[in-house]
Amino acid sequence: MKLFRVAPVLFAIIGMTVLVPADRAQSAADAGAGAALVGDSPSPKPKPAQPDFAYVQPTEKKKFVNYINDTFGPVPVGEAVILAAGNQYENTPHEWGQGFGAYSQRFASNFGIAAITTTTQYGLAEVFREDTMYYRCECAGFLRRFKHAMLSTVMARHGEDGRWRFSMSTLAAPYVGNMVGVYAWYPSRYGAKDWVRMGSYTFLSFSGDNIFLEFIYGGPHTLAGHLFHRQNYPEANPGPLLPH
């Protein structure tokens, strides 16, 4: 069970190693462009102008659509399918047995926990005025982007100006979702230590999701962007970057 919950993180880390040469190549290209601007002059090379990314608070409609996608979209369904297969292979919980009926029960359990987790996260985000959507880093360099993805696991935008603050909703949601699942439909032998352990795995998967969005899919500087040369990605509009 532990392997299948950590698998998305391991997959993301393996995938993002492909991007390191791309970042270096981009830096080299920037250096070449600077040399072309100044010729053979020994004067300092001009730095490219930094765009002004002003944070725009998402509308309630946009947040609701994002909630629906995160709860009932293909990604949560696919994750529930994979987790249920892992649970079936490990026969966890063993009280549910084997066969298609047992797999369906495990799928419903994983999907239900994920739906409660997402609903809790969005509900608490409304209470604390948090924007829990992921914003890709507009910085350069592998380490800075990796740091941004990791910090975004525990931080979120707050208020109309989008200032970065600790995210209570992101921290609490995975534990609430797994606690409800343990006490609502898991076998009676499961208790507090189990939903804390399961909630920690879910929280760890959040960082894997952020790495996936930062490096693999979701923008022109991701692995998918390099492979398919997509030019129609929406602006990330991240606002002030996290401190590096």
pLDDT digit string (tens) for 164-177? 999 999 999 999 99
Q: Which of 92, 125, 130, 74 is nearest to 5 (CA)?
A: 92
Owning domain of residue 212: 2-16+57-228
Q: Is residue 68 part of a domain?
A: yes
Please report whether residue 35 resides in a domain: no
Q: Rounded to whole angstroms, how far apart are CA atoms 119 and 103?
A: 24
d(CA 55, CA 157): 9
Number of domains composing the chain: 1
Structure confidence at residue 94 (pLDDT)? 95
CA dist., res. 25 & res. 28, Å (int): 5
Whether 133 is covered by a domain: the verdict is yes
- Model-level pTM? 0.69
Low-confidence ranges of the chain (pLDDT < 70): 1-53, 217-244
Rounded to 10 degrees, the C-alpha dihedral 49/50/55/61 comes to 80
Q: Specify burial of residue 63 (Cβ count, 10 A radius: 0-12, 13-18, 19+).
A: middle
In a domain, 244, yes or no: no
How many C-beta neighbours within 10 Å does residue 122 have? 20
Q: Is residue 47 part of a domain?
A: no
CB atoms within 10 A of CB 123: 14
Identify whether 42 is preceded by a cis peptide bond (ω within 30 of 0).
Answer: no
Q: What is the CA radius of gyration of the chain?
A: 21
Helix (H) or strand (E) holding 50: none
Q: What 3-state DSSP class applies to 91?
A: coil
pLDDT at residue 217, rounded to an integer: 66
Confidence (pLDDT) at 196: 96
Quick check: is 38 in a domain?
A: no
Query: Rounded CA gap, 70 and 22, in Å?
Result: 30
**Which are the contacts of 163, defined by CB distance < 8 A and separation ≥ 6?**
157, 240
Percent of the chain with pLDDT over 90: 50
Residue 160 inside a domain? The answer is yes
Sign of CA dihedral 174, 175, 179, 180: negative
Residue 242 domain flag: no
Instruction: Give pLDDT tens digits for 207-223.
Output: 888 898 888 865 544 44
Which helix (H) or strand (E) segment holds residue 3: the answer is helix 2-16
- Longest alpha-carbon distance in the chain: 76
Structure-block tokens of residue 154:
């525990």
Half-sphere exposure of 133 (CA within 13 A, CB side): 23
